[in-house]
Structure 1
Amino acid sequence: MKRILLAALMACASLPALAQENFPNRPLRWVVGFGAGGVGDMTARLVGQKLSEALGQPVVIENRPSAGGIVATETVARAAPDGHTLLLVTATAATAPHLFRQLPYHPIDDFEFVSQIASFPQIIVTSATSPYRTLQDLMNAARAQPGKINLGSVSVGTALHLSLALFQSMGQLPVEVVTYRTTGELLNATATGDIGGAMEVAATTLGQISGGRLRALAVTSPRRASVLPDVPTVAESGLPDYNVVTWNAMAAPRGTPRPVIDRLNAEVRRVLAMPEVRDRLLPLAVEPNPTTPEAMRQMLVDETALWGRVIRAANIERQ
């Protein structure tokens, strides 16, 4: 009996090693909660291609767009915890618990976090023909004309909308916030002067800034973006405590063996250090930023608390 129990214990102890040794044994699915073409989707496809070369199995990007990324997130939360189904986590994971009355998963407890993938600043832009040369100009004009200046972002509850709400609150700006369905509509309204300024991801505005339609006033990150070295941060422009960076990350279903998580983490780090990957990302103001699984989880905990406070202050009702 003792020999049987000892053999059973040894077999259990060897399971993580076997999981690591056999991983991966088929193609991987990396589920993305929005459509093709955005910064997150582009990042996942670039990193996924390099991961497939390293792992010896295809990494298939599966776009499953929905409000709040719920469909994609639930898909991965319910998948087998063997590392073959992954989720591209975005800042939406920190806002969704405060925007939806019920979620079919827990955004933190139902996942094992592999690593952050990248971070990228948002940017406040205005029309190239507007009178605002600096962010301070825009803020001064808003305070001098309460309710007369509109600022825009994409849909209510997105990271961009909430970043704008935080800017409005911290700056004590008496402005109207207008939301648009798409980035194209938002940037067109900004370029034509229909609104005084907008909050957008830097990567989506670079072409219109260089093309002379938009003027960059400030980036939201704690330091200036390397592709826009002459554009100050919001902190440099009068709000020293303002610091918002958008990000994406990789996660697997809860219960995925730690050796599998460690293997994925190591490969993600190796891919993000490749010069050809960095050369593709950095011109878009996307900064490769791998972390430990523990650091990624803690960041999501902290961001969930932060955006909960912002959402409550903005009186955004749960759906």
Structure 2
Amino acid sequence: MQRRDFLTLAAAVPLGAARAADYPSRPIRIAVPNAPGGAADITARAVGEHMARSLGQPVIIDNKPGAGGVIAGQAVAAAAPDGYTLLLISSGTAVSQALFKSLPYDTLKAFAPVAPLATFDLVIVGKAGGPFKTLGDLLDYGRKNPGKLNLGTPNIGTTQNLAAEWFKSAAGLDLQVVPFKGTPDVVAAIRGNQIQAGLDILSPLLTQIQGKVLQPLAVTGAKRSRLLPDVPTAQEAGVKGLNAASWNGLAVPAGTPAAVIGRLNQAVNAALKDAEVSAKLEALNLDPHPGTPQDAQAMLAGDIRRWGEVIAKAKIQKM
């Protein structure tokens, strides 16, 4: 081939397409906005290990906790849009966009979702042997005793905390949403009769439920949990419109070539369908959730809108 013909051919191939054709040619990094050892970290590592095998390149987990996920988000938003830097996104990512007055990036403009990873349920619980055997019992008490029902959650601004505000509004109850430092503090307060109920992610509460320490009253998502098939949803129990669940996924910087996103999506879905990876997620009481980039985009955008509405209706002051 003459040099002139080669240059003509090279000019006809867009740079992004050329890079996508060679992708991946070096290690891939996933920024995780959580400390090592938690469910988000374990999920990223389990999926990342399988992706490394299918993509033929190492997948490195880079833990960047703090600032409600903003530290990790800012690092990925500033990275080159070439598919070598990914971000673990979640319902918490959407909460941060809805709750913070300003972020160093616009979540929907800065990132291009790759795929969902997993979903996990939220549950309303009371004390086992306490006055509430069903969510109906709690609703009845709250309506007869305005202002006296206390519902504990982890920190202000978490998905669980905002889900409690959503429950309060949807149920039409005059109750106090009481934030604690974390799940252990919520459980201790229920057991010590300092609060009557709590709302948190099901996974860390499951042992307490199975041990008859906590009484599950309802899950807050659109469908029953596979972990508690006999426990109704809040909607089934009469709280219309409540659909609060949690999820996580992966995203890349906006502008990443579509072919690269497609290759990553293929690798993620292959991982989630792998029996070993699925078993690791299910051991964390998470439900693997294969899907398209469009699915992940819809989850992120929908949550930003929903949590923004909850924040406005509950008159929660933005941070």
- TM-score, normalised via structure 2 length: 0.93
1:254 aligned partner: 254
Name the CA distance, whole Å, in 1 between partners of 2:12 and 2:66.
Answer: 40
Name the CA distance, whole Å, in 1 between partners of 2:169 and 2:64.
Answer: 33
Residues 8 and 106 (structure 1 numbering): CA distance in 2 closer, same or farther, change over 3 Å?
Answer: farther
1:88 aligns with 2:109: no
- Is the 8 Å Cα contact of residues 170 and 240 (structure 2) preserved in structure 1? no
TM-superposed CA distance for 1:241, in Å, is 2.2
TM-superposed CA distance for 1:44, in Å, is 1.1
Between 92-101 and 44-53, report the one with greater CA deviation: 92-101
2:24 aligned partner: 24
Residues 303 and 34 (structure 1 numbering): CA distance in 2 closer, same or farther, change over 3 Å?
Answer: same
Which amino acid counterpart does residue 77 of structure 2 have in structure 1? A
Residues 157 and 239 (structure 1 numbering): CA distance in 2 closer, same or farther, change over 3 Å?
Answer: same
TM-superposed CA distance for 1:106, in Å, is 1.1
2:134 aligned partner: 134
TM-superposed CA distance for 1:312, in Å, is 0.9
2:15 aligned partner: 15
Between 241-250 and 9-18, report the one with greater CA deviation: 9-18
Name the CA distance, whole Å, in 2 between partners of 1:137 and 1:8.
Answer: 75
Which amino acid counterpart does residue 163 of structure 1 have in structure 2? A
Residues 53 and 186 (structure 1 numbering): CA distance in 2 closer, same or farther, change over 3 Å?
Answer: same
- Is the 8 Å Cα contact of residues 151 and 197 (structure 2) preserved in structure 1? yes
Instruction: Give the % identical residues.
Output: 40
- Is the 8 Å Cα contact of residues 171 and 240 (structure 2) preserved in structure 1? no
Structure 1 residues 103-252: aligned runs within 5 Å: 103-252=103-252
TM-superposed CA distance for 1:228, in Å, is 1.2
TM-superposed CA distance for 1:9, in Å, is 6.8
- Is the 8 Å Cα contact of residues 130 and 193 (structure 1) preserved in structure 2? no
1:50 aligned partner: 50
Name the CA distance, whole Å, in 1 between partners of 2:17 and 2:96.
Answer: 36
Which amino acid counterpart does residue 272 of structure 1 have in structure 2? L
Which amino acid counterpart does residue 278 of structure 1 have in structure 2? S
Specify every segment of 5 or more residues in structure 1 that has no aligned partner in the other structure, as ranges: none
Instruction: Tell me how many residue pairs correspond in the alignment.
Output: 317
TM-superposed CA distance for 1:276, in Å, is 1.8
- Is the 8 Å Cα contact of residues 226 and 285 (structure 1) preserved in structure 2? no
1:75 aligned partner: 75
Which amino acid counterpart does residue 253 of structure 1 have in structure 2? P
Which amino acid counterpart does residue 20 of structure 2 have in structure 1? Q
- Is the 8 Å Cα contact of residues 272 and 288 (structure 1) preserved in structure 2? yes
Q: Does the residue aligned with 2:109 lie in a helix, a strand or coil?
A: coil
Q: Quote the RMSD (CA, aligned, Å).
A: 1.9
Specify every segment of 5 or more residues in structure 2 that has no aligned partner in the other structure, as ranges: none
TM-superposed CA distance for 1:135, in Å, is 0.8
- Is the 8 Å Cα contact of residues 17 and 257 (structure 2) preserved in structure 1? no
